Structure 1
């Protein structure tokens, strides 16, 4: 407010006071009015001083110039957008890469880049952060990170960084063509890049000057390097173009692809006639060149001592700051010192040959690494070049593949053993049932027969475990919740583990439903609990936990076997003595047990492994002294994608063990065929037998009436399904009952025959009679509907 304005306001205020005094005649009232006006004017002046108005007379808008200057970055493009999708700010590099200040995610990206970036933005609004690993803007390869920020989290910060993909051969080519190549030439080093086929790709001027005439130096690419050099009988290496007066040279070969030894080579050559001082300077330049390479290289003299190690070699060998090895043998375990020293001695003669040796480094466990030993010439004291390759990951993968192959082979063996064993048990159980029909409780032989039958049933339980391990058992999956399964089995667990072991059950929130066989899942929990009880020696704590595992959690785990997805986890932990590290990789193998003889079959954990794998899940064991845990991951069931679960079969009414009709029995095992024939004849059926498929067809052709075919599946010459197809070609409605020692689920996948019943071995006489009665009833029911 100017002085003129203040004078005007003051005059008007005095005039108002005078008029008020003239109208009222009250001096006090006039004085009070004057004081009020003075206070109001003073308040306005104070507000104006504290909060001056903007130059435009309006509220100042945010100035993003300072923010833009702050986010300017040499190698990261940055942009900021608000909740409304508007571009708030971006740095200059963003505008350069994107062709202007374009609002993310609508950037000029190639392929599906725009869709991937949009999904990352949505993830950032939802989870706070989103990523895209590989997108392209023309030739530029980028990775993007999107972060939600701001006090009210109303902004997204988009960061774009270029992907670095190092092509070592191209980098060397670029340096040799530039100042680095000229610098090496000034130091007396002739350098060239040679392809795996021995063709020249590029070279520094010093090499070109010695190898080519002036007219050929512009057209050298693709020429054979071997033709440029000459090696006489004395081992002297020279340039062929220089003829008889050529100066001998020493050559160092540096492989740029040490993984397979067939990649491009970097050749470094020095004149042989250089003095000791010059030779030391040249070696310094070579060491400088080696230090730039990304794989481990070291130079060793003829006495086997280290002359030089580059940084990559130091990292790969695990050499600490306070550890300076003098010999290569100082890096390896005692058993490998001798072979390494012998190999270095063989290659120290200067012949340019090489070999690989698998060694184990001190402090890096038993995982071997591959060391390449190459003889070199022309570097003074240096006689051997060592290159170190870390092959621990490769060795680990080889072990895992070997373990998986072994488990698969043992599984196939277990399935075959279970089939043959089931045939034997069928005969044993059938013979026991037939003998029990002639004996009553109290007879001298009755208890012995019962004992034989009980042991046969125990053996049948072992065959079911073998089938579970080989993932050939029949599963009846249902949609279920893990806490419900644990609740059903918890009362049995308390009796199994005893009163001295505490059982703790804890369920996490948000568990997804899984698709599994509840009976088999209960068997898994019981087996793990029994193992935990034995490990705790009668006292301790058994903990069972369930919790959800998201796809993001799986990615953080970094497990290469589990695909990222949502899982429901079941963890069984105990406070026992733990599993030794050398035993842990073997615990899921069949018949492997650490228990005393007679106290374990070695099939418990292998059965658990088979059930979980057949249910599309994963199981991992972790152990340390005082705590062992088994964690099971079952995929969360998605009703809109998965195959509908097989509902629990309804309880069928018990069939009669007596009947009438003509049955053709085809079975290649004599003992099984004899027991089945006696059992069916006793039940009232007329039975015709055959020992294999072709004989069964002959019997079928000679019979006027057949009510049912009872046949084994796997038989020599002609199997059961082939025989049945030939019979069904003549009688399409012929009832069929297959019996086999293999699992029903496995057989139904390979048998494409409709309306067939299945009876798994081993079976009792009563089970055979009931299965035959049920098959005849089903056939009569189908005929009635037809």
Structure 2
């Protein structure tokens, strides 16, 4: 395999895209340069003679120049590589050799995002030398890879797991490198998978194969065609001799063995004095598939009394193999099982089973016993049986049963694949897919609900303009408006769970956040719950939205209070640092090793039942009585923590309380800019104005409320039902001071309509309104100089947003 530089050829590797060719000073001067220097020297002598009229002085000056030039030339030739400013060219051939790899695709890009170098495997996996992160990845893989590249520029290293190119699933590691740290090294690797045949071949050719030979076992891996793929040194020495082992792979095994009288087996090259052999065949694939076979040969030097020694040799062989194998006698009892089999079967230490049926659930005991009975007395063939292990009843596994001969008491060989890692990955993917699907559903529900709430709130505001406090309808309208605002808070919780809300992160310390919210917590807890706060030393700063983080603490504290009622108890809030080494010791499958600041909230309540614990972060799941909970509290906590790049874990034992631990990564970047202040901190704008507004909204009730509100505020409004109609109205209007448009609409959405309008009027002011989150929409819209108004909004908020958008457009000098 060779690495490839782009786009230069091998001889000009250093001048590829994004690289800088070194500047070299020539070791000798050209003839033209020497003639020029000589001419200047003679001119200097002539000027000196003209000025002094002294031939002796001029001749001495000429002689001095000649001596100096001769000395410089001598030194130049004596030390040609020491010329000033000479820079050694980088060894690009060595770099190409270093990039050559059989199972890792590598590419190097510079700070300008240009490809510098890549190996051939990179081109094979990605269909050519495509510059990362712009690779043809499936699903969210492109976004994960972009985020990994940003993290590498910022922190020195970034990771992206589970990115897919077609059916190929990869893991990416991005590292900032170079003397000036202005290059990114992109490494792509496939998750490690156990290749059974390669593992056996590697063990046979290594120390394990030599250990088998010392124990008297000659092992060989043979293909379905009878060709030798791998063998240990003991087999090669007996079968081929000392001088014929160099190129054994692919040779036919049958000429190496011969059958004697009585069916005894011998090595052919050992002649008549050969020692008889006992052959053990271990199929490595279903019998009807014609797969490879592992052969183990043992000298038949012992009689029936020494059968135990042969079995000991076989047990030694099985213990060295990387896959689970066990031997069973004719009565169906275990004789031996290797460590891989014990691990795959989930056998507890000190509780070795007696029968294979002890490993499986009750429904599978009979079929497994019948299959073992058939193979223990029948032919030497194998079969597969799908079983469910007693400790893993939800995950069926495949057990292979093979009848064997010549192993003393052993009659059946069982093989079991360790699928614990595969099962864990399946559960993790299933959980992520479920949470992602529920999050998308929650975001869609929040969007539609926000449209309804916008119409309700707007209608209430318009009616309140016609009523004054004391009127018979005033209190009813206020009651409707209050409940609509409560519903709006539920939609914000839905967006928080689906990680689609807009966060305004700041660099902060966890103790400061807890101090700000502690007074409110004391009032919420009441007299029966004691609040205890403990802070650890050496806490690192974190980057999070303080308002949302306070909401997390309040939600967890209120749940803890409810769990301790009516008797009360103690609510404990702790903060402490967690080093990367501690994370590694924890062995978490989800949280990568790094430095974290932890926030732990514990209570002394009744605890969470084991069957409920896996479901607590799901939206709308609640154990409270009807009418006492929405089921969105913990799902909101989960969404905020995950959107802040953190992790949250729940731990509980019934009767011993529950604890929630939040891990937020320590923020180490320097030169942070202050967070953008929330919209509420900005000065309020006027509720009245003038100008012509084009309003485009597909929801009739929202459009009607917005049109009435803007008209009452003094604006001239032209309304359209969807994007195409909005374009038609735009063509007929002489002046448009502002376009207010929904984002998601049928046929033509808001961003597409605005792009078409700005193609004719580049300075057109635009105000987008949507039930989705601003942060999510800004990433997908990609249009400069647009304002955003989240739904649901009141009449006053709409008027204020319009006034602010017009003022910002006037400040920029934009016009319609």
After superposing the two structures, state which structure 1 stretch, 740-749 or 262-271, moved more: 262-271
Contact in 2 for aligned 1:469/1:611 (Cα 8 Å): yes
CA distance in 2, matches of 1:289, 1:679: 84
| Runs of 5+ consecutive residues of structure 1 not aligned to the other structure | 1-110, 112-165
Name the CA shift for 1:681/1:208 in 2 (closer, same or farther; >3 Å): closer
Which residue in the other structure is 2:626 paired with?
Answer: 597
Which residue in the other structure is 1:408 paired with?
Answer: 436
Name the CA shift for 1:785/1:289 in 2 (closer, same or farther; >3 Å): closer
Whether 1:502 aligns to 2:530 is: yes
SS in 2 for 1:596: coil
Which residue in the other structure is 1:431 paired with?
Answer: 459
Name the CA shift for 1:776/1:629 in 2 (closer, same or farther; >3 Å): same
Name the CA shift for 1:685/1:227 in 2 (closer, same or farther; >3 Å): farther
CA distance in 2, matches of 1:783, 1:433: 33
Whether 1:252 aligns to 2:283 is: no
Per-residue CA deviations over 1:391-410 (Å, capped at 9, x if unaligned) read 33432232122111211111
Match of 1:172 among 180, 199, 204: 204
Name the CA shift for 1:542/1:178 in 2 (closer, same or farther; >3 Å): closer
Whether 1:550 aligns to 2:579 is: yes
SS in 1 for 2:813: helix
Which residue in the other structure is 1:479 paired with?
Answer: 507
CA distance in 1, matches of 2:735, 2:631: 50
Which residue in the other structure is 1:79 paired with?
Answer: none
Deviation at 1:201, TM superposition (A): 3.7
Deviation at 1:738, TM superposition (A): 0.8
Match of 1:515 among 525, 540, 543: 543
SS in 1 for 2:608: coil
CA distance in 2, matches of 1:395, 1:466: 31
CA distance in 1, matches of 2:551, 2:423: 35
Which residue in the other structure is 1:651 paired with?
Answer: 681
SS in 2 for 1:612: helix
CA distance in 2, matches of 1:642, 1:197: 66
CA distance in 1, matches of 2:364, 2:672: 54
Which residue in the other structure is 2:44 paired with?
Answer: none
Contact in 2 for aligned 1:210/1:239 (Cα 8 Å): no
Name the CA shift for 1:657/1:650 in 2 (closer, same or farther; >3 Å): closer
Per-residue CA deviations over 1:466-486 (Å, capped at 9, x if unaligned) read 100111101111222222211
Deviation at 1:533, TM superposition (A): 0.4
Deviation at 1:713, TM superposition (A): 0.9
After superposing the two structures, state which structure 1 stretch, 203-212 or 656-665, moved more: 203-212
Whether 1:585 aligns to 2:647 is: no
1:578-727 paired onto structure 2 within 5 Å? 578-624=607-653, 625-640=655-670, 645-647=675-677, 651-727=681-757
Deviation at 1:375, TM superposition (A): 3.1
Whether 1:223 aligns to 2:251 is: yes
Deviation at 1:278, TM superposition (A): 7.7
Name the CA shift for 1:487/1:211 in 2 (closer, same or farther; >3 Å): closer
1:140-289 paired onto structure 2 within 5 Å? 169-173=201-205, 181=213, 184=216, 191-194=219-222, 199-201=227-229, 221-225=249-253, 252-254=280-282, 265-268=293-296, 282-283=310-311, 285-289=313-317
Match of 1:735 among 759, 765, 773: 765
Contact in 2 for aligned 1:663/1:685 (Cα 8 Å): yes
Match of 1:394 among 422, 426, 429: 422
Per-residue CA deviations over 1:420-475 (Å, capped at 9, x if unaligned) read 11111111111222222233334433333222222211111111001001111011
Contact in 2 for aligned 1:368/1:395 (Cα 8 Å): no
Contact in 1 for aligned 2:539/2:577 (Cα 8 Å): yes
SS in 2 for 1:543: strand
| Runs of 5+ consecutive residues of structure 2 not aligned to the other structure | 1-97, 99-197, 270-274
TM-score by length of 2: 0.66
Name the CA shift for 1:337/1:754 in 2 (closer, same or farther; >3 Å): same
State how many pairs are aligned: 609
SS in 1 for 2:479: helix
Whether 1:572 aligns to 2:596 is: no
Which residue in the other structure is 1:758 paired with?
Answer: 788
Per-residue CA deviations over 1:352-409 (Å, capped at 9, x if unaligned) read 22325443246x8978776443333444653321134443343223212211121111
Which residue in the other structure is 1:385 paired with?
Answer: 413
1:288-303 paired onto structure 2 within 5 Å? 288-293=316-321, 295-303=323-331
Whether 1:327 aligns to 2:355 is: yes
Provide the aligned C-alpha RMSD in A: 4.2
Contact in 1 for aligned 2:543/2:644 (Cα 8 Å): yes
CA distance in 1, matches of 2:348, 2:705: 75
CA distance in 1, matches of 2:388, 2:401: 12
Name the CA shift for 1:405/1:229 in 2 (closer, same or farther; >3 Å): farther
SS in 1 for 2:221: strand
CA distance in 1, matches of 2:285, 2:583: 34
Contact in 1 for aligned 2:201/2:229 (Cα 8 Å): no
Whether 1:489 aligns to 2:517 is: yes
CA distance in 2, matches of 1:597, 1:697: 49
Contact in 1 for aligned 2:307/2:408 (Cα 8 Å): yes
After superposing the two structures, state which structure 1 stretch, 299-308 or 321-330, moved more: 321-330
SS in 2 for 1:622: strand
Per-residue CA deviations over 1:77-99 (Å, capped at 9, x if unaligned) read xxxxxxxxxxxxxxxxxxxxxxx
After superposing the two structures, state which structure 1 stretch, 374-383 or 735-744, moved more: 374-383
